[in-house]
Amino acid sequence: MQEPVDSLKELMTLDELCKRVGMSVRNVRFYTTRGLVPSPIRRGRSGYYTAEHVARLELVAELQAHGFTLAAIEKYVARIPGDAPPSAVSLHRALLAPWMAEHPETLTLAELHERAGRELSAAEIETLEALGILTATGKGRYDVTLAHLDAGVRLIGFGYPLESAEATRGIYDRHAAGLAADMLDIFRKKVWPAYRDSGASDEDLTEAVELLKPLSIAALVSAYERAVNEQMREEIVRRTE
């Protein structure tokens, strides 16, 4: 997309863009040829990039992190108007971004053993994966939530069974899918229209999404704690009777 730019200070070279978004020159050019990002702005024989290119490339990277295929990414991006400002594109990315502040760290098997404080067996690694603490990414590497690794290693050290971890994860996944669908329905039908009617900008909506994430997680944890406590009280009463 060609659009007027007030000064060259607002423009980036291809190398600057690649450094900004953490992509290779080859990938940026590939995404450009596929129409996922606009062509560079021409100034003489040189091509320059703007915040719009940054926003769209960051969105593509976020979609890839969620496991979208190239074809799925193309369909998703095609639904965003070509003249959408960077703030609107960033809003899409904010909705996709992880809800927890901590991002997993990628470790080799040797690094995983080192962080765990001992060598882990294949069965123990499988249990940690069922607990949601790590995910095998192939080629002997794992995405690991380090904040929970110590607790997970200590738990399996007590003999926590893999079957329990798998059953628990199945329960979480099953109920989380319904909960996420209900929450998304509320956001789409009530929250989003209310913000739009109030005249909120895309930047305001993006900030609102980021603020809602930790509050939603905290409310979910509190509700779960209350439910577990109530179940425990009922169990104690049942046993004493």
8-96 topology per CATH: Multidrug-efflux Transporter Regulator; Chain: A; Domain 2 (1.10.1660)
Query: pLDDT (tens digit, 0 to 9) for every residue of the chain, 241 residues total?
Result: 444 444 444 789 999 999 999 999 999 999 999 999 999 998 888 899 999 999 999 999 988 887 888 998 999 898 888 888 898 888 888 877 767 656 788 999 999 999 999 999 999 999 999 999 999 988 889 999 998 999 999 999 999 999 999 999 999 889 988 888 898 888 889 888 888 888 888 888 888 888 888 888 888 889 999 999 999 889 888 888 7
- Under DSSP, the state recorded for 8 is G
Q: What is the DSSP string of 92-124?
A: HHHHHS-SSSPPPEEEEHHHHHHHHTSPPPHHH
Check: CB of residue 43 under 8 Å from CB of residue 80: no
Q: For residue 131, which amino acid is it?
A: L
**Domain map of the chain by residue range?**
8-96, 105-160, 200-241
Rounded Cα gap, residues 83 and 89, in angstroms: 10
Nearest in space to 12 (alpha carbons), one of 42, 45, 38, 50: 50
